Amino acid sequence: MFKNVLLVECQDTPGLVHGITGVLFKHKLNITMNQEFVESDRFFMRTEFEGPPVGSPLIAELETILPQGAIIRLGEQRPKTILIMVSHESHCLGDILIRHEFKQLPVRILGVISNHTSLQNLVNKFDLPFHFVSHENLTREEHEAKILTLIESIAPDYVVLAKYMRVLTPGFVNRFNGKMINIHHSFLPAFIGAKPYQQAFDRGVKVIGATAHFVTEELDDGPIIVQQVINVNHTANAQTMAQSGKDVEQIVLSKALKLLCEDRIFLAGNRTIIFD
């Protein structure tokens, strides 16, 4: 018995749910979960179903009943493959590695890439490949070219920036449109860029947070997937904020990764539609 996920995005018209579910029924497929949403005449639907193998014939039939230009994605419910990129900080990487070890995330980690060696021993404890790609004496473009060659040879479904602390060029980012997510230690759009906890302290904020988002050309401006906050008071400084924020960062990134790998996210311009 195959378990699949169908994602449909199209112009909203009457009878879409009836038509789509009718096609699934015709192919002897059993719907186990269905969610839909309409915004600004745009229809989004996520359907989990099980039954015999399906593929191109199902998509072709759906295309005949859906409005022109409909986006149809069909995928098997399976762990997605990911490649993690990190620099020095261990908390987000460590959380993902532990969750992966105990099968708490629907992912299969293919390896870890870093521009430093400080986390190699951590990765080795989980018997996963660690790839050190130094940025020393290289231009940003030269360094990214080496990383790109490595990623293409491994061919993951998604790339996860788990505290990778280098700004990526537009040329690199555009290779992974909708396939790369990042954790930013701030409740975006506040405090974009470097040292957000120092920025938060300087502004005297009473709430700090973390944001997981898709990576785009604009720094820390990609479609937001998950956000979470915690309260702080006047006694907190930038250092204590950063320490408190680490717990939030790892929870937010892991939740975003789970949503992504369970095919629960639609990209709608610079926004996301999420069925969780």
With tokens 């898709």, the residue in question is: 214
Give the Cα separation of 59 and 73 in Å (integer).
8
Give the Cα separation of 246 and 138 in Å (integer).
31
Give the Cα separation of 189 and 187 in Å (integer).
6
Beta strands at 224-231 and 207-214: parallel, antiparallel or unpaired: antiparallel
220 is catalytic: yes
Is residue 165 within 8 Å of residue 207, measured between CB atoms?
no
How many other β-carbons are positioned within 10 Å of the β-carbon of residue 275? Answer: 20
Give the Cα separation of 150 and 240 in Å (integer).
37
Beta strands at 265-268 and 271-274: parallel, antiparallel or unpaired: antiparallel
Is residue 186 within 8 Å of residue 201, measured between CB atoms?
no
H/E run at residue 65:
helix 56-65
Using DSSP's 3-state secondary structure scheme, residue 92 falls into helix
Q: Which of 12, 157, 202, 220 is catalytic?
A: 220
Task: Name the residues annotated as catalytic.
Answer: 220
